[in-house]
Amino acid sequence: MPGPNLLIGNGQVLAGPIVREPGGGGKKQYPYTIQEARDRLGPGLAEILAVFDDLPEAAKPRGEATSVVTVHPAFQAKTQMPAEVFVRAGLRAVGSRPAKVTPAKDARKTAADTDEQPTAEIYVTGNAAAFRTLLDLLMSTQTGKGVQQEFCKLEAVRALEPEERILRLEGADINIPIEIVLHGEGSDDELLGSLLRYSSDCNAKVFLAKRLSVPGLVFMPGIVPRENLSEFAKFTALRAVRRLPVIRLNRPVIRQKLTVQAPALPKEEALDPGLRVVALDGGLGAKDFARWASEQVPTELASTHADYLSHGTEVTSALLFGAVSPGAVELPRPFFNVLHHRVLGQSDESDPDLYDCMKRIDAVLSAGGIDFANLSLGPRLAIDDGHPHAWTSMLDGHLASGDLLMTVAAGNDGEVEGPMGRIQPPADAVNALSVGAADSPDFLGQRAPYSCFGPGRSPGIVKPDGLAFGGTEGQPLVLLNPLSGGLSGVQGTSFASPLVLRTAAAARAMSETPLTATALRALLIHRAERSMAHDTVDVGWGRFPDSPEDLLTCAESEASVLYQGHISAGGTMRIGLPIPVVPLGVRLRITATFCFASPVDPADPVNYTRHGLTIVFRPKGAGSSASFFSTTTYGNEQDLRRDAYKWETVLHRTCTFGADELLDACFDVDHGARENGLSVVNRDVPPLPYVLIATIASEKGEPIYQSVMQKYRALAPIQLRDRVRLRRS
């Protein structure tokens, strides 16, 4: 009997570069005249200079201070962002944050109907002379027209008040454990020395040795007396001061010892022992998994806590064996081995700033040589749209190459009302796959009440990426845990996350055809299922498949094609779709998932990702166009800039067409690149590796798989490893 139809590879043979037609773009309309800009911005710049003079000299490293420039909502595209005016004045743009503003005037014909519009606030740093130069450039009639026009793009300019840097520090504690976010680089001894001296003046402590640096930002823990908090926040290089979070492992803690007989361990070695799968967790407390799992234990973590070991053992069990089926006599053969890095231990309880734990994870990822990794711990706090967290920035940096697939638990405070129930760092990492928990193994299951919800930040608005069954108190997830004497019933996103990674890594282990980390991330999202009753905020893209067969096979009524290619910066790729020959009247459903990994600018959350795709669907080839991807897929138009969806690392949508509407159907894909929100020289940017999964399915179940294979001879099903047998659906 023939096996199931396999995922079709080699889709990139249907793609090729084309010459992009030059854009139109008429004369740009500015909301303000230069005189109006002088009237609006002049008082703000004068106030900045007055505030500058009032600041203590010790609070101004290198004699510099920071102001906030609000960009008019019409000028946020990378080609329109003001930049030259700051350079001319001797100022530096060191970051951004999202904001909403009601512009006094708007020259756009397509201006939003709402009063408040999304925009960007830019942090600008320099000395007093530079700010005076900026004021002179604004007021002088001799200033060139190009610089004058940049002033006309600005809505407001003002001093950055110390109180704006203080985030979520309510309470009555006398000495506050804080996390410091600093504009700058971790190797800047002059900056760090200034911070150390000023902290001492404020009777605050900062722990420079624990700092973590990412491009443009430095994170470190500290302690500040509440009575000196406002004075401490005057240090001008500070971006944010927020309460130091506590560690999260698994909340709520539910662990039930089950009395049923535990199934036997398998007798075989792993299917692909060469696959490098890592768990970053609390350790292994037993030797029962020694055949397939080993542990790396830092010297300082030799002493640990039983809860950490149980958590780590259950995460590893989920990776190796998955959920235990009712009545199982023997656990399934593992697809791979697991290297468990203990990153949390008893020493962290006496020094609970999370930085030691984070730096251990950073060191493991920096060493490289990892194909897959799971992280089911992190700081217990909701994400902040305007200020990326150290954990998130660190992970996105490591994952930007696209070589490593990492799953991250979304967090378990979903029952907290309001924004504090949103996903927790680093589940907002755009290059990671964040996993929430479903309350049932069935398709119609909802988000488990404890599972943190979305949205994520923009870009990265669809977070969590999806759900897997994580157990509930009434219906726990059953895992083998030798520490508890057999089977344990658990709940938490901590355990949903490794189940998803197991599915992806198993698909890699079964496939002879190379499947990149980005391809597997795209396949998981592409095959996620979401009913009409499910809200994206709760379930992301939907319910992830729980078996590798679901990623590697196609039904008779569909053809799923994997494209793995590269697009040059500034270039356009035309990607053809495999439309089968079908009878008149058949309707075809197209599901497309674009996915890529991107370097990020952590200090610039408005322009966080450096790569983006602009995609036009052409159902009848060149000259035609139809709606496919759009901003409404990703969020309310009022909450997104008009071009924000272009900078998402995942684009996913399903649309239905009559087969007669699809003649030479294709996507035209433009690759845009930026750095700190500004244009770059395209020839200096390496080509972007992208993945597209495209499924063409007949709406009423007519068979089309063989039709596609016969029409497109250059396509070929993926190859499986010897001795791998797929179950028929």
Q: Sign of dihedral through CA atoms 318, 251, 394, 684?
A: positive
CA nearest neighbour of 120 among 77, 180, 88: 77
DSSP 141-186: TTS-HHHHHHHTTEEEEEE--GGGGEES--S--SEEEEEEEEES-T
Q: What's the pLDDT at 643? A: 64
Q: What's the pLDDT at 495? A: 97
Q: What is the dihedral of CA 466, 470, 475, 476, to 10 degrees?
A: 170
How many CA atoms does the CB half-sphere of 263 hold within 13 Å?
20
Q: Count CB neighbours of 660 within 10 A.
A: 13
CA nearest neighbour of 701 among 532, 588, 560, 561: 588
Q: Count CB neighbours of 559 within 10 A.
A: 28
Whether the CB-CB separation of 456 and 462 falls below 8 Å is answered with yes
The list of the chain residues with pLDDT below 50 reads 1, 252, 634, 636-639, 729
pTM, to two decimals: 0.94
Question: DSSP 3-state assignment of 502?
Answer: helix
What digits encode the pLDDT tens for the residues 141-196?
999 999 999 999 999 999 999 999 999 898 889 999 999 999 999 999 999 999 99
Q: What's the pLDDT at 638? A: 41
> At CA 409, angle to CA 408 and CA 410, rounded to 5?
110
What digits encode the pLDDT tens for the residues 433-489?
999 999 999 877 899 999 999 999 989 999 999 999 999 999 999 999 998 888 999
